[in-house]
C-alpha cells in the first residue's frame, strides 16, 4: 500500500508475531535471558506474565527458537482444554502415537516412557504453554501432576507458562498452592518506555528495508508513546495508521498531525492531552 512511497520492502507494523522484528528492549531482553538461564538450570515451573499486546507470544516463539538445538520442546498455544486432552496434546507434541493409546492411563504411560527415553538421550524436555490464563483449574492441577514424572536424579519435564495478569489471579487460589510453590522463576513484561518506543519504530522500519532519515518526527513518536502506553501491539496499530495518513497526504515524513489522526481513529488508544497545541 504505502511501502513503495516510503522506500519499504514490506509492511513494518504487521500484528503477526515475527521474531525477525524482535527488539531487545530491557524488559523483554531480561525476560528472555532469565528464561534461558532458568531452563538450563533445569528448574521446574517458570511463569511469564504481561498485559495484552506486550509481546508474550513473540517472546514465546523466540524462546522456542533458542531452545531448538538444545532441548525437545512441546508447544501448546491454546490450553483451554480438559486434562485428558492436555495429556494427549503434550504427548503428540513429543512424538507419541496417541492413536495407539486406548485411554488416559495408556497415554500417560506412553508419555512417561517417551520422557524417560529423551532423558536417556540427555535431551531436556520443555513444555511451553501460551495463553495460560485460559487453562481450567482442573487442567492446571493436571499439569502439576504431569511434572511429577521424574527419575531419582532427573526432572523429566520443565514448564514455561505465558499468560495475562489473570494467570496470577488463577494461581492465587488456595487450591492451586502446590503448583504455585513450584514456580521457581517468574518475570513480567513491562510496556516500552518513550525512548524504547522510538527505538522500536526505527528497528521495525529498518527490518522492513527502510534506510532513509527519521521517518517519524519526534513529536509523532511522543504521541504514539502516550497513546499506546508503550504497549507494542498498540504501537504497531498507531504507527501503521500514521504511515497511512502521511501517505494519503503525499508527505515524506510522519508528523504529529498524522499520529494524532491515527489516535483518533483507534478506539483502544489512550486520549492524548492537548495544551497550547502540543502534548
Q: What is the mean pLDDT of residues 130-139?
A: 95
CA distance 249 to 112: 62
pLDDT at residue 3 in the model: 93
Mean pLDDT of all residues in 207-217: 94
Coil/strand/helix, residue 160: strand
Give the Cα separation of 78 and 86 in Å (integer). 10
Question: pLDDT tens digit string along 175-206?
Answer: 999 999 989 999 999 999 999 999 999 999 99
173 and 196 belong to one structural domain: no
Rounded Cα–Cα distance for residues 129 and 46 (Å): 11
| pLDDT confidence of residue 237 | 97
Residue 147 and residue 115 in contact, taking contact as beta carbons nearer than 8 Å: no
Residues 33 and 161 in one domain: yes
Question: Which pLDDT score is estimated for 27?
Answer: 81
User: Is residue 94 located within the same domain as residue 231?
Assistant: no
Question: Does one domain contain both 182 and 231?
Answer: no
- For residue 34, the model assigns a pLDDT of 92
The 10s digit of each residue's pLDDT in 84-129 is 999 999 999 999 999 999 999 999 999 999 999 999 998 999 999 9
Q: What is the CATH number of the domain that holds 129?
A: 3.40.50.300
Nearest to 146 by CA among 154, 131, 157, 155: 157
pLDDT computed for residue 279 by the predictor:
37
Among residues 190, 124, 135, 191, which one has the least CA distance to residue 158? Answer: 124
**Listed range (12-21, 23-32, 171-180) with the worst mean pLDDT:** 23-32
User: Are both 99 and 119 inside the same structural domain?
Assistant: yes
Rounded mean pLDDT, 226-231 = 96
Domain count, the chain: 2
Q: Which of 188, 214, 246 is the last residue of a domain?
A: 188
**Is pLDDT larger for residue 246 or for residue 68?**
246
Residue 161 φ then ψ, to 5°: -105, 120
Between 246 and 70, the more confident residue is 246
Which residues form the domain of 241?
A: 3-8+192-264
User: What is the reported pLDDT for 193?
Assistant: 92
Same domain, 97 and 180: yes
Amino acid at each position: 500500500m504505502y511501502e513503495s512511497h516510503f522506500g519499504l520492502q514490506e509492511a513494518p507494523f504487521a500484528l503477526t508475531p515475527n521474531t525477525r522484528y524482535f527488539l531487545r528492549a530491557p524488559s523483554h531482553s531480561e525476560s528472555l535471558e532469565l528464561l534461558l538461564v532458568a531452563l538450563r538450570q533445569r528448574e521446574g515451573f517458570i511463569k511469564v506474565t504481561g498485559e495484552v499486546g506486550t509481546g508474550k507470544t513473540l517472546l514465546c516463539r523466540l524462546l522456542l527458537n533458542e531452545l531448538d538445538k538444545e532441548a525437545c520442546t512441546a508447544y501448546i498455544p491454546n490450553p483451554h482444554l480438559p486434562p485428558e486432552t492436555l495429556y494427549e496434546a503434550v504427548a503428540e507434541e513429543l512424538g507419541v502415537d496417541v492413536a495407539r493409546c486406548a485411554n488416559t492411563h495408556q497415554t500417560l504411560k506412553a508419555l512417561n516412557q517417551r520422557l524417560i527415553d529423551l532423558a536417556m538421550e540427555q535431551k531436556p524436555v520443555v513444555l511451553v504453554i501460551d495463553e495460560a490464563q485460559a487453562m481450567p483449574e482442573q487442567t492446571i492441577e493436571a499439569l502439576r501432576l504431569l511434572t511429577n514424572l521424574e527419575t531419582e536424579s532427573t526432572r523429566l519435564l520443565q514448564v514455561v507458562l505465558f499468560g495475562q495478569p489473570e494467570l496470577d489471579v488463577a494461581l492465587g487460589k488456595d487450591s492451586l498452592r502446590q503448583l504455585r510453590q513450584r514456580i521457581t522463576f517468574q518475570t513480567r513484561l513491562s510496556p516500552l518506555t518513550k525512548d524504547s518506543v522510538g527505538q522500536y519504530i526505527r528497528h521495525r522500519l529498518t527490518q522492513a528495508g527502510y534506510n532513509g532519515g527519521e521517518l517519524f518526527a519526534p513529536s509523532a513518536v511522543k504521541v504514539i508513546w502516550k497513546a499506546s502506553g508503550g504497549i507494542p501491539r498498540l504501537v504497531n496499530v498507531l504507527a501503521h495508521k500514521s504511515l497511512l495518513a502521511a501517505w494519503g497526504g503525499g508527505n515524506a515524513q510522519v508528523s504529529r498531525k498524522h499520529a494524532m489522526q491515527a489516535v483518533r481513529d483507534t478506539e483502544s488508544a489512550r486520549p492524548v492531552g492537548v495544551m497550547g497545541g502540543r502534548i
